[in-house]
Structure 1
Amino acid sequence: MAVIQVVRSEWTKIRSVASTLWTLSLAVVVTIALSMLISALSKNEFDKMSAKDRLSFDPTFTSFAGMSLGQLAMIVFGVLVVSNEYSTGMIRTSLAAVPQRGTLLYSKIAVASGLALAVGMITSFFAFFLGQSMLGSHRASIGDPHVLRAVIGGGLYMTLIAVFSMGVATMLRSSMLSLGILMPFFFLISNILGNVDATKKIGQFLPDQAGSKIMQVVTPTDHDTPYGPWGGLAIMALWGLAALAGGYALLKKRDA
């Protein structure tokens, strides 16, 4: 089957499953709503901040506060895109129609990643502009140095979260197992490793910890990382590529 036909088939699969589209919608709503709330609270608390905290205050990064929950929906999206076929048994039909497993996998990843990128960019720009509107006089402008990079980076961050999740789900073939590993990893383990002094040097190389640097304009005074914003995003991209490579290796070896 021609690659273009496989891509069309994967697009049909994704848009015909309501749960995947709902999770993307949830990612947009949750991220923007929480970002606006945190930005409004930050505006009210700004005058109470110490001089040190005011100097390190990052209005751009504040407007991305909702990413912490929005990425949950992107994780679910990435897992469902892959695991739905295994849970329904449709993977056998897909492999019969497209014996070239690499073509099948990477067509699915390409379509889902393109959709995640579109949603991620829309979410990031809306979160920024609406978040800044909540900050009042403390807001940043899209034309300020490095702000546009941070906003575009927010969309790329959400996309890479979905890509990494797709790779993990391809390896594990189970939505429950994949979510049971990814959720604690991003919402518990990563935060612990990144905030405990003894493990900070390890935590800063985890995908979310490294990738989130792309959304920062003001560098926190208490953080010293050996890479910049684009370096952090590159580390996150390597995690995603490693997960996809692992998924492909296992898909190629085992039965459906």
Structure 2
Amino acid sequence: MTTPASVPPTIPVPPTIPVATPPARFRDLFASEWIKTRSLRSTQWTVALTVLFVIGAAAVATLTDKAARSGPAEFLPYDAYPAAGYWTLMLVASTMGALTVVSEYSSGLIRTTTMAVPARGSVVLGKAAVTAALWTAVGTAVSTGSFLVSQAILDGHHAGVPITHPGVFRALVASALLAPACALVGLGLGVLLRNAAGTVATSVFTLLMLPTMFSESNRWSADLKHALVSAAWNRLVRPWEPDPGSLGYTATVPGSWIVYTLWPLITVALAVLVVRRRDV
């Protein structure tokens, strides 16, 4: 007669409690986005060439104009801050700001990023913080370098002006902030459009081409023009006040600073709202 083998009693296994992953800290997001940015050689070369080109444009403009300088010294913004150099800065900054986002969408890296950090709005804000910091530094270097180079050339003709000269400091700050403002606009458009060609074309049209379509002879046209970034920069670098007898409508200095502030804030805010509501 056989007896059944004894079955050892089963030991109950306690249920596993999932460990919640702590949310990424903003400084970690900032650090990761900064590593992405500085690891690209194209970023370093683009920034270096842009700085050299814009400062070189200021030197060329000053050398061209110095022969016509006579009489008491005055500050002429088209010497230190020529339109050719700073329109190029706007183009490069907006394009690089857009590529910060669009390059991840085109390569598929954005899926890895959102899996690591599900809070997509925080990802956009991290990219915006790095973009603003980088291009503020670039804009400050370019603006200061342009002014110093132009004044060094004019000092030989006793036509240089100090930074305390009326209108100089405002023009220097406005030119320094032009780069981060355009870069953040490009970044916001990149999140909204998610296409490299479309984003670059939209940035170029909005920042560079659209202001030339409006004049200051009519009130409605002047209001639309003054609401654009390049027109605001042009007003802020101008050291003189508008002629009361002029037939045109000129933007105000406070209004131009408001335009500088609202464009990057609105585009980045829209990007944060949109990225939270749609799939990758």
Normalised TM-score (structure 2)? 0.80
- TM-aligned CA deviation for residue 208 of structure 1: 1.7
Mapped partners of 2:59, 2:208: distance in 1: 21
Match of 2:65 among 37, 42, 51: 42
Match of 2:131 among 108, 112, 121: 112
Structure with bigger helix share is 1
SS at match of 1:138: coil
What are the Cα deviations for residues 27-65 of structure 1, in whole angstroms up to 9, with x where unaligned? Answer: 211211111111221223446xxxxxx99x742453111
Preserved contact between residue 114 and residue 120 of structure 2 (Cα < 8 Å): yes
SS at match of 2:162: coil
Structure 1 residues 196, 76: closer, same or farther in 2, change over 3 A? farther
Asked whether 1:125 is paired with 2:144, we answer yes
Amino acid at match of 1:208: S
Asked whether 1:59 is paired with 2:81, we answer no
Match of 2:186 among 165, 172, 175: 165
SS at match of 1:125: helix
CA RMSD of aligned residues (A): 2.3
Asked whether 1:143 is paired with 2:164, we answer yes
Mapped partners of 2:86, 2:190: distance in 1: 21
Query: For residue 29 of structure 2, what is the aligned residue in structure 1?
Result: 6
- TM-aligned CA deviation for residue 119 of structure 1: 0.8
- TM-aligned CA deviation for residue 250 of structure 1: 1.6
Mapped partners of 1:139, 1:224: distance in 2: 31
SS at match of 2:214: helix
Match of 1:243 among 267, 272, 276: 267
Query: For residue 41 of structure 2, what is the aligned residue in structure 1?
Result: 18
Preserved contact between residue 175 and residue 233 of structure 2 (Cα < 8 Å): no
User: Which stretches in structure 1 are left out of the alignment for 5+ residues?
Assistant: 48-53
Match of 1:211 among 230, 233, 239: 233
Which one has the largest radius of gyration?
2
Mapped partners of 1:253, 1:5: distance in 2: 24
Normalised TM-score (structure 1)? 0.87
Preserved contact between residue 235 and residue 251 of structure 2 (Cα < 8 Å): no
Preserved contact between residue 121 and residue 273 of structure 2 (Cα < 8 Å): no
Query: For residue 224 of structure 2, what is the aligned residue in structure 1?
Result: 202
- TM-aligned CA deviation for residue 244 of structure 1: 0.9
Amino acid at match of 1:246: L
Query: For residue 234 of structure 1, what is the aligned residue in structure 2?
Result: 258
SS at match of 2:61: helix
Q: Identity percentage over the alignment?
A: 25
Match of 1:73 among 78, 92, 96: 92
Match of 2:101 among 61, 78, 82: 82
Asked whether 1:254 is paired with 2:275, we answer no
Structure 1 residues 134, 191: closer, same or farther in 2, change over 3 A? farther
Mapped partners of 1:10, 1:138: distance in 2: 45
Preserved contact between residue 102 and residue 191 of structure 2 (Cα < 8 Å): yes
- TM-aligned CA deviation for residue 120 of structure 1: 0.6
Amino acid at match of 1:160: A
What are the Cα deviations for residues 209-256 of structure 1, in whole angstroms up to 9, with x where unaligned? Answer: 12332222223545643421x431221210111111221122111111
Amino acid at match of 2:224: I
What are the Cα deviations for residues 66-91 of structure 1, in whole angstroms up to 9, with x where unaligned? Answer: 21222221122111112111111100
